[in-house]
């Protein structure tokens, strides 16, 4: 069986085969966060999708090199650094650390490389120099260096590989200095932005004078450095197709003369209760906002993984409550299986695994994958109730589940998900019990219960459980 994925380049579902002649190694680059604020749940939908792609590739036996950059210099960041009268590293460092904490809380595997744009200024300059030398970039009167779409197309290259752009009808030839712009204003875009006083302390020397890189060239330089001039997979949210990814292709292919990426994958957007997320509508949530409402990263992950990556996902609080119920069903079944298996290992039972793999390989058909999981839960519960599941059966079922969960990443409740104040209350209760202060111990148990946590005294000590 082979993994099939929707390639935005061909606009069709195609069998994935890596560039590696040995068919083993896969390079995957996903545009990372712009660290100017806490990532919101829309961003998280895209990063959880990238984690799913990586895990699916690993499940299929590939050795993945997963790269996710940190955009730590671009227009929005500079604006906030100026407004908040702080320095770039101080400002971005805080949000980068928060991002990595949230990534962990959502059960995402850590990317193997997390390059920062500010640590790649030399590579960025070298790439722009190549583009200038090849005649597809020029320094304009404003001091900035721009990519020339006309010159690029004149070399027989195609601008508009991801989106069908009718360049003849568009206002080509104009220049845009900002990192984000609309399709209607397709134009020469900035590779190197000449210094302006609004940039404050954020500037580097270059052959074109003091300035800073444009956002698009950052990703070209970092991905080429990490994965080579041509690599397997490039991911991002659908909004990045234009101009960001289109510009990345133009810069990279314009500089190297080689195809940049074999497979482009784009995740659809997330809406909240049917509307575009916005602070003014009061429907804007970060992971931290949801955690403050008592939800866990695991529950949010489950919800974000519940629909196909190419379908717009409607986030609702009912959906999040449903995620909690569904996880409880899985947990209950797993707990019974663990008890029955007596902790022994076994060979993976192929029933669940086969159905799950078939679904996954069909362009990550997650709905069919979950259907296989819940059918398995139902069947397993039935067999347990009928006493027809032997110890080796239970061990084999668990081994099969573990393989499935190597992709879903929801099976384990990590310690990190118990909030610090809850752990502190549990510890205080243990201390009270040791001191035979049972009144206080009971009061602490009640306190925990009122906050949604049950405490169970087991042979290995007290255990916290969400209720
Ligand atoms: P940014 O930090 O703004 O560069 O965005 C990080 C990632 O989140 C990009 O891949 C975006 O495409 C993606 N993204 C932004 N908004 C949403 C949304 N509402 N739903 C899904 N992905 C999004
Ligand atoms: Zn990018």
Q: Is the CB of 234 under 6 A from ligand 1?
A: no
The two structure tokens encoding residue 400: 């099969």
Long-range Cβ contact pairs of 85-94 (< 8 A, separation 24 or more): 87/201, 88/118, 88/201, 88/202, 89/118, 91/36, 92/35, 92/36
The two structure tokens encoding residue 102: 């949230």
Instruction: Count Cα atoms within 13 angstroms, Cβ side, for 458.
Output: 8
The two structure tokens encoding residue 378: 């139902």
Q: Is the CB of 68 under 6 A from ligand 1?
A: no
Fold of 20-271: Rossmann fold (3.40.50)
The single residue listed with the structure tokens 């990345």 is 248
Which residues are CB-neighbours of 148 under 8 A, at least 6 positions away? 135, 136, 137, 138, 188
First-residue to last-residue Cα distance in the chain: 41
Which atom from ligand 1 is nearest to the alpha carbon of 236?
A: 10
Query: How, if at all, do strands 188-194 and 145-147 pair?
Result: antiparallel
Mutate to test the pocket of ligand 1, among 28, 103, 179, 237 (most ligand atoms within 8 A of CB): 237
Q: Residue of the nearest CA to atom 17 in ligand 1?
A: 42
Counting DSSP H helices and E strands in the chain, the numbers are: 15, 15
Task: Report the interhelical angle of 88-105 vs 75-83 (nearest 10°).
Answer: 120
Which residues are CB-neighbours of 260 under 8 A, at least 6 positions away? 220, 229, 230, 231, 234, 248, 249, 252, 253
Mutate to test the pocket of ligand 1, among 28, 32, 44, 46 (most ligand atoms within 8 A of CB): 46
Q: Is the CB of 32 under 6 A from ligand 1?
A: no
As a whole number of Å, the CA-based R_g of the chain is: 25
d(CA 272, CA 280): 13
pTM for the whole structure: 0.88
Which atom from ligand 1 is nearest to the alpha carbon of 277?
A: 19
Q: How many angstroms from the chain centroid is the CA of residue 408? A: 14
Q: Is the CB of 108 under 6 A from ligand 1?
A: no
The two structure tokens encoding residue 26: 């896969």
Q: Is the CB of 236 under 6 A from ligand 1?
A: yes
Ordered per-residue pLDDT tens for the chain, 467 residues: 699 999 999 999 999 999 999 999 999 999 999 999 999 999 999 999 999 999 999 999 999 999 999 999 999 999 999 999 999 999 999 999 999 999 999 999 999 999 999 999 999 999 999 999 999 999 999 999 999 999 999 988 999 999 887 776 665 557 888 888 776 667 899 999 999 999 999 999 999 999 999 999 999 999 999 999 999 999 999 999 999 999 999 999 999 999 999 999 999 999 999 999 988 888 999 999 999 999 999 999 999 999 999 999 999 999 999 999 999 999 999 999 999 998 777 787 778 999 999 999 999 999 999 999 999 999 999 999 999 999 999 999 999 999 999 999 998 654 446 777 888 888 899 899 989 999 999 999 998 888 878 787 766 577 777 66
Q: Residue of the nearest CA to atom 19 in ligand 1?
A: 42
With CA atoms as reference, report the closest residue to 194 among 209, 182, 216.
209
CA of 219 to the centre of ligand 2 (A): 5
d(CA 11, CA 14): 9
Q: Is the CB of 162 under 6 A from ligand 1?
A: no
The pLDDT value recorded for residue 173 is: 57
CA of 29 to the centre of ligand 2 (A): 9
d(CA 173, CA 177): 13
Question: What is residue 44's DSSP assignment?
Answer: H
Domain edges within the chain: 20-271, 418-466
Q: Is the CB of 330 under 6 A from ligand 1?
A: no
Query: How many C-beta atoms lie closer than 10 Å to residue 279's C-beta?
Result: 8
With CA atoms as reference, report the closest residue to 246 among 203, 325, 168, 189.
189
Q: Is the CB of 222 under 6 A from ligand 1?
A: no
Q: Are the C-beta atoms of 264 and 162 separated by less than 8 Å? A: yes
The pLDDT value recorded for residue 414 is: 46
The pLDDT value recorded for residue 280 is: 86
């Amino acid at each position: 069986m082979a993994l099939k994925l929707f390639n935005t380049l061909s606009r069709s579902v195609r069998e994935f085969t890596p560039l590696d002649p040995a068919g083993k190694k896969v390079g995957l680059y996903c545009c990372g966060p712009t660290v100017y604020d806490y990532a919101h749940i829309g961003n998280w939908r895209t990063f959880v999708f990238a984690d799913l792609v990586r895990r699916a590739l690993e499940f299929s036996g590939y050795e993945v090199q997963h790269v996710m950059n940190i955009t730590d210099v671009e227009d929005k960041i500079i604006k906030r650094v100026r407004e908040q009268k702080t320095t770039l590293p101080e400002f971005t460092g805080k949000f980068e650390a928060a991002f990595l904490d949230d990534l962990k809380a959502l059960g995402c595997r850590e990317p193997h490389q997390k390059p920062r744009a500010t640590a790649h200024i030399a590579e960025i300059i070298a790439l722009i120099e190549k583009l200038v030398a090849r005649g597809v970039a020029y320094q304009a009167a404003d001091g900035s260096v721009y990519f020339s779409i006309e010159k690029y197309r004149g070399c027989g290259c195609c601008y508009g590989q991801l989106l069908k752009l009718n360049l003849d009808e568009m206002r080509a030839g104009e220049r845009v200095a900002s990192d984000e712009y609309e399709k209607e204003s397709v134009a020469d875009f900035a590779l190197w932005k000449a210094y302006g006083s609004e940039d404050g302390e954020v500037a580097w020397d270059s052959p074109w004078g003091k300035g800073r890189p444009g956002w698009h060239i950052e990703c070209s330089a970092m991905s080429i450095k990490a994965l080579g001039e041509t690599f397997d997979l490039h991911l991002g949210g659908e909004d990045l197709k234009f101009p960001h990814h289109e510009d990345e292709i133009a810069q990279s292919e314009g500089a190297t003369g080689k195809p940049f990426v074999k497979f482009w994958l784009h995740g659809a957007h997330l809406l909240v209760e049917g509307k575009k997320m916005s602070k003014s509508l009061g429907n804007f949530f970060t992971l931290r906002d949801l955690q403050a409402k008592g939800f866990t990263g695991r529950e949010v992950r489950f919800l974000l993984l519940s629909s196909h990556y190419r379908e717009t996902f409607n986030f609702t609080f009912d959906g999040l409550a449903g995620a909690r119920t569904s996880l409880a069903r899985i947990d209950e079944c797993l707990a019974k299986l663990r008890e029955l298996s007596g902790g022994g290992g076994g060979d993976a039972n192929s029933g669940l695994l086969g159905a799950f793999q078939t679904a996954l390989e069909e362009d990550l058909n997650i709905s069919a994958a979950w259907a296989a999981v819940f059918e398995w839960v139902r069947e397993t519960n039935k067999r347990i109730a009928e006493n027809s599941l032997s110890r080796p059966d239970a061990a084999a079922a668990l081994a099969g589940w573990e393989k499935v969960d190597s992709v879903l990443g929801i099976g384990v409740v990590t310690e990190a998900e118990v909030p610090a104040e809850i752990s502190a209350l549990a510890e205080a209760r243990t201390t009270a019990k040791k001191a035979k202060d049972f009144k206080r111990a009971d009061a602490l148990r009640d306190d925990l219960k009122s906050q949604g946590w049950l405490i169970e005294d087991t042979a290995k000590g007290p255990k916290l459980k969400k209720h």
